[in-house]
Amino acid sequence: MPISTRMSVAVLLTCGVVTAALAMGLRQSLGLFLAPMTAAQGWSASGFAFAIALQVLCNGITQPIWGQVADRIGGRRVVMIGAVLQAVALAGMALSESLFWFTVFAGVVMGCAVSAAGMPVIMASLTRLLPERMRGRATGLGTAGSSFGQFLVVPLVAFGLHGAGWQWALFAIAAVSLLMIPLALPLNDQVAQPAPGAPAEEKAGAALSRALRDPTFWFLSFGFFVCGLHVSFMAVHLPGFVASCHLPLGVGAAAISLIGLFNVAGSLTAGELSSKWKRRELLVIIYAARGVLIGGFMLVEKTTVSVLVFSAIMGLLWLSTVPPTVALCARNFGTRWLATIFGLVFLGHQVGGFTGAWLGGVVFDRTGSYDTMWLIAVIAAFAGAGVSALCRDGAPAPMAPARPIGRVAEA
């Protein structure tokens, strides 16, 4: 690989990873504002939580739309639009004097923003711009960067929140969101027009129709639904479960932090394996391992050590589903409309996320325990493993050839 091309790859990966880290870290910090904002504004905690839940749904619903836009005009412009929308949303949250307007900015505007400047668009851009042998590593790095952003950015936001107050902290992270604009510059993946006499490129409608008729698309979507159910249930309810086991309050926070930290290693490993191994078998192992881990956790005594060990191992499996899922989407459906198709698969993840967060609360309210929800998580994990085994991971279906962009893709 020429030195100039090697440098181009390094710049592309660095900017993509840092952008993903900022997007995820800033988004995951919003929960820190619940207590100070509800106390200062006189809002209910459920009203604040509804706005964040609405954000998750808007993120999932608008993800395929932003994916379609990114497939047409390139990921760079879409990420830049998302950065501006995120800054507007955060500033609007800081200035909102009523819960209605807070819900509009935190739920609707922020939901659209994190779709535009989020992982699916960034992953699709990296996949298009890099040769196939580097795509698994790139998606692994991007996913790991998202988790590292959660691990690093959230404490910094907490520090600013305590030092400057919730309103100025929101203005500050709105300004930081704009850093994603220059970071998105290398994501120049707009597809060139076919050369004269070249075969006609597959249209978006044809690509979507082909994907929706393919069982592999639905298998991947169901697997991502299971992933989202696990992630949201544990992110929202693991601290409460720890408290219900009469363990120290800090154990719950440490558990979430450990999950984010160990997910860096898990995502990087999954990215490397996605380039060298069958992606289908990798997904089967990840989902089945989750089922075994959660089932084992249900059976052991809940101590500080057992909770932290569980969290560390779960971190290795947390978002390790992303690299093989992106790779299977690219292999089966091509890269031309990858942001659109992966955006639809990602919608399954967000629906699962909403289900896990909501259902966990319903189960606890009705039974006074999380035992039933843990059992549901085990069953879902093995269902995800079984469905993933049915995915096609052989030769891709016939399609118009993808056209990588620029010198990076020629590496």
In terms of pLDDT, which residue wins out, 117 or 396?
117
* pLDDT at position 90: 95
Q: Percent of the chain beyond pLDDT 90? A: 31
Q: How far apart are CA 233 and CA 35, in angstroms?
A: 21
Work out the average pLDDT over 377-383.
Answer: 97
**pTM of the predicted model, to two decimals?**
0.73
Work out the average pLDDT over 377-387.
Answer: 97
Q: Is the pLDDT of residue 294 over 70?
A: yes
* pLDDT at position 74: 83
Nearest to 66 by CA among 74, 53, 17, 51: 74
Beta carbons within 10 angstroms of residue 257's beta carbon: 18
In terms of pLDDT, which residue wins out, 339 or 80?
80
Using pLDDT thresholds of 50, 70 and 90, give the confidence band for residue 250: confident
* pLDDT at position 411: 36
Q: What is the pLDDT of residues 353-376, one digit of tens each?
A: 888 877 887 888 788 888 999 999
Q: Is the pLDDT of residue 58 over 80?
A: yes
- Is-contact 405 128, C-beta < 8 A? yes
Examine domains 1-188 and 207-399 and report if their fold is the same.
Answer: yes
* Domain boundary assignment for the chain: 1-188, 207-399
Cα–Cα–Cα angle for 207, 211, 213, nearest 5°? 120
* pLDDT at position 312: 93
Q: Is the pLDDT of residue 319 over 50?
A: yes
Tokens read off for 76? 């760079």
Q: Reduce the secondary structure of the chain to three states and give it as a string.
A: CCHHHHHHHHHHHHHHHHHHHHHHHHHHHHHHHHHHHHHHHCCCHHHHHHHHHHHHHHHHHHHHHHHHHHHHHCHHHHHHHHHHHHHHHHHHHHHCCCHHHHHHHHHHHHHHHHHHCCHHHHHHHHHHHCCHHHHHHHHHHHHHHHHHHHHHHHHHHHHHHHHHCHHHHHHHHHHHHCCHHHHCCCCCCCCCCCCCCCCCCCCHHHHHHHHHCCHHHHHHHHHHHHHHHHHHHHHHHHHHHHHHCCCCHHHHHHHHHHHHHHHHHHHHHHHHHHHHCCHHHHHHHHHHHHHHHHHHHHHCCCCHHHHHHHHHHHHHHCCCCHHHHHHHHHHHHCCCCHHHHHHHHHHHHHHHHHHHHHHHHHHHHHHCCCHHHHHHHHHHHHHHHHHHCCCCCCCCCCCCCCCCCHHHHCC
What's CA 401's distance to the chain center, in Å?
28
* pLDDT at position 192: 46
* pLDDT at position 395: 55
CATH number of 207-399: 1.20.1250.20
Q: Is the pLDDT of residue 404 over 70?
A: no
Q: Is the pLDDT of residue 261 over 50?
A: yes
Cα–Cα–Cα angle for 143, 298, 320, nearest 5°? 10
Work out the average pLDDT over 57-72.
Answer: 85
Work out the average pLDDT over 89-110.
Answer: 93
Cα–Cα–Cα angle for 380, 381, 385, nearest 5°? 115
Work out the average pLDDT over 114-120.
Answer: 84
Q: What is the pLDDT of residues 170-205, one digit of tens each?
A: 999 999 999 999 998 888 766 544 444 444 567 778
Using pLDDT thresholds of 50, 70 and 90, give the confidence band for residue 401: very low
Beta carbons within 10 angstroms of residue 266's beta carbon: 25
Amino acid at 195: A
- For the chain, give the mean pLDDT: 82
Q: Is the pLDDT of residue 29 over 60?
A: yes
Work out the average pLDDT over 213-226.
Answer: 94
Q: What is the pLDDT of residues 122-179, one digit of tens each?
A: 877 887 787 777 777 777 777 777 777 767 777 788 788 878 889 999 999 999 999 9
Q: How far apart are CA 319 and CA 232, in angstroms?
A: 12
Cα 319 to Cα 144, 210, 252: the distances in Å are 8, 27, 20
Work out the average pLDDT over 384-403.
Answer: 71
Q: What is the pLDDT of residues 30-48, one digit of tens each?
A: 767 877 888 889 887 667 7
Using pLDDT thresholds of 50, 70 and 90, give the confidence band for residue 381: very high
Q: Is the pLDDT of residue 52 over 50?
A: yes
The fourth-level CATH superfamily of domain 1-188 is MFS general substrate transporter like domains (1.20.1250.20)
Q: Map tokens 């009469």 to a residue.
A: 246
